[in-house]
Structure 1
Amino acid sequence: WQFFFIFNTHLSTCCLCILVLRIFRHGDRTPVENFPTALHKESDWPQGFGQLTKIGMQQQYELGRYVRKRYSNFLSATYNRQEIFIQSTDYDRTIMSAQAHLAGLFPPKGSQIWNPQILWQPIPVHILPESQDQILHFPTSDCPRFDELQNETQASRAFQNRLQPYMGFLKTMAAHTGYNVETLKALHKFKTWNIYDTLLCESIHNYTLPEWASQEVMGKMEKLAALSLQSLFGIYKTKEKSQLQGGLLVNAILKDIKQAIKPSNKRKIRIYSAHDTTIGALQMALNIFNGKLPPYRACQFFELYQENNGHYSVEMFYRNDTLADPYPLRLPGCTSSCPLEKFAALVSPVIVKDWSKELATSLPHEGIGDAHSEVPG
């Protein structure tokens, strides 16, 4: 094992860091789809819809440099394939984000420089097809029970109570966007979220916005987009939803952690390049979600430590403000530095032994898979 020492103020003792595990959202991208009255076409964007932009590349490069600085005493000074593993969803924007991130994290040095004019080196990014990806792409496809839960959520009193204050606003938005109210209020169809996302992308890149897209309107739409994400993985039967979605990633993280404590382990850092829905599903499964949409390059950290007494602990951090260090998160029922055994016990309710068996508990019917709308991500 190779460790670095960190002074842990809430423990008042020195700990050895064994593993750093991170899940981040890709960088800035173009819209994923248009709405009927949109002013701009897909051809107005140089690479089309859903693609990483130069801003997004720079954001991920900066995040990579930040991680290099944060863990400078832990990671080797140069890239070592045995120390790092990075996996991405099968989307251009997440694959490219991973590549830009690695450029900032491991710029070539010394003998690793293969071209003095290009201070970059290729580092493998591992990818699974979307149909096989059950830990990063949420909501996972082909899950009839989750589709049922989405329909139940939309009809639940808990959801309707949150949606009701926006009904007048949605009627106005229907007149502006070309969608009917029924489509917009069905937040699991993602049309409302996608309208906000499209306008946000256009504003970031100085495209002309519709006259009705005022700051007040954008603020309300952002809250509705956040409500869409919450309704997707929370609000109603959150535990069961988490077992079918975010709990799959929780289980993968727990396996990564348990693998890291083996004496034969050489891995120091695992990185997952994914989406806002990935972070949302994970944080809601852990009951640490702050109710806000994860911004571009938002990053969830897990750090595994070995205490002086030989026991292990897990700490969590979340970076959604690029001007500050990530802030600590506490798993409900535990301390900020959570003993590994307790961490595993607390997350166990959202981990199922046989996901495919859970999947087979219901027959498919109309649900999120029939929305014909890409989750913003």
Structure 2
Amino acid sequence: MVFLVHRHGDRSSEKVQLFLSDNPEELARMSEPYGFGQLTDSGKARSYALGQYLRHRYNDLLSPSYIPSEIFVRSTESDRTQMTARIALTGAYSSEVLWSEDMELVPVELDVIPAKVDPNLSFMNCPKLTSYFLGFQAKNKNEEKQDYEDVLAVLFEEIGLNLPKCPLLMYAMADCFASQESVGMPFTALQQKLGPSVRQGARQAVNYMFGNPEYIPLQTGVLLNEFFDTADQIVSGANTPRVRVLSGHDFNVYSFLAATRAVPKQGVPEYCAVYSLELRRCRDSGEYVVVPVYANSPTEGEAYLEIEDCGTICEYERFRRLTSQYVITEDQLREKCKTEETVSIDTLQSLFT
């Protein structure tokens, strides 16, 4: 059985990000043909390659044609995650080598939960978690962060952005840079100069935001619980899909990596990065083990990670014990979070402004 989480494909800029560009008008102009926050041409091509990666690695679990009972696919409510899933599944079941706009999508079944109650979007619909992010910014924005101060000083001098000294802004800025590249807008000399520092800041920021052990259960504990429910069914011999997929965002991938104690840490997941937990049964002993596999891009090949204190091949029940602190049910999440009834993808705009 494979239980995997992937990020959506390359996308255009969100409106909320435009202020982080030193040429927001041009970025807006080049993003508009796709729609803000939507898959670009390169995003569709990469999503198709993601499907080919799934076919290559998990061919033994998938029939040549799509059969719903073999694969369960869930997506967040975002247009880009749903489209990524549909194109990826088309790539998994098509014989065509390259993606084409003329290609007919495979009519797959997607399970989509409304954002206001989606446990995989708790960083937007869980006030306790949102307060943590806001509180972290308030706590850290005046601390000495020399690596970021130099970048922020240049931004203030060059484009008039007077931003708090907070590494979380590097996360947002790195995302802005990536979306700019996705729409084909060349980097300015200033962006080329700041790029390495911004990427390094983003690597640290994503860990601050989504790797804090205290808040991991709220972010991805329900997903981890779903893994164990599915794995237990497999172990008991129940008839359940052997491939389970969540089409989500970078924070879904990173927080699930953190919850499963996968090392080494991978930094900000790239577009279509995919993390798989593979449940395997040893032929000789009959023992079930968990193997963590990560590909930062479907075209770069996969890497075998390790479960901290357990290794690359981790005995199933030991893996359960090591990660039990992060497991949470949906009812427990709702009780802890008092889930918001009205949220949108832009709910956390205040984190970056």
Normalising by the smaller structure, the TM-score range is 0.7 to 0.9
Distance in 2 separating the partners of 1:323 and 1:311: 32
**Secondary structure of 1:48 counterpart:** coil
State the one-letter code of the partner of 2:19.
F
Structure 2 runs not aligned, ≥5 long: 97-101, 339-345
Q: Calculate percent identity across the aligned residue pairs.
A: 25
For the residues of structure 2 that align with 1:200 and 1:120, how far apart are their CA atoms? 26
Question: Shift in Å at residue 152 of structure 1?
Answer: 5.0
Confirm or deny that 1:123 pairs with 2:108: yes
Quote the residue 1:302 is aligned against. 277
Residue aligning to 1:223? 200
Q: Which runs of 5+ in 1 are unaligned?
A: 1-18, 110-116, 361-367
- After superposition, the C-alpha distances for 1:52-82 in whole angstroms (9 at most, x for unaligned) are 0111111111121122122223322222111
- Mapped to 1, the partners of 2:333 and 2:295 lie a distance apart of 30
Contact 1:317 1:327 in 2 (8 A): yes
Question: What's the counterpart of residue 157 of structure 2?
Answer: 175
* Distance change in 2, residues 1:107/1:187 (3 Å): same
Counterpart residue type for residue 209 of structure 2? L
- The one-letter code sitting in structure 2 at the alignment partner of 1:306 is R
Deviation per CA, 1:311-345: give whole Å up to 9, x if none. Answer: 21111100114444311111112132211111111
1:150 paired residue number = 133
Q: Which residue of 1 is the match for residue 172 of structure 2?
A: 194
Matches of 1:352 and 1:267, distance apart in 2: 22
Which of residues 78, 88, 97 is equivalent to 2:84? Answer: 97
CA distance in 2, matches of 1:325, 1:108: 20
Count residues with an aligned counterpart. Answer: 333
TM-score, normalising length: structure 1 = 0.79
Alignment of 1:1-377 (within 5 A): 19-33=1-15, 34-35=18-19, 37=22, 38-45=24-31, 46-107=33-94, 120-134=105-119, 136-137=120-121, 139-144=123-128, 146-154=129-137, 160=143, 163-182=145-164, 185-188=165-168, 190=169, 192-214=170-192, 216-234=193-211, 238-288=212-262, 290-308=265-283, 309-352=285-328, 354-359=332-337, 371-372=349-350
Deviations 1:239-279 (A, max 9, x none): 21112212232222222222333323141211110111111
TM-score (norm: length of structure 2): 0.84
Q: Quick check: 1:26–1:60 contact (8 Å CA) kept in 2? A: yes
Cα distance in 2 between the residues matched to 1:374 and 1:260: 43
| Matches of 2:336 and 2:301, distance apart in 1 | 39
What is the aligned-residue RMSD (CA, Å)? 3.0
- Shift in Å at residue 108 of structure 1? 8.5
The structure that is helix-richer by fraction is: 2
CA, structure 1 residues 41+151, in 2 after alignment: closer, same or farther (shift >3 Å)?
closer
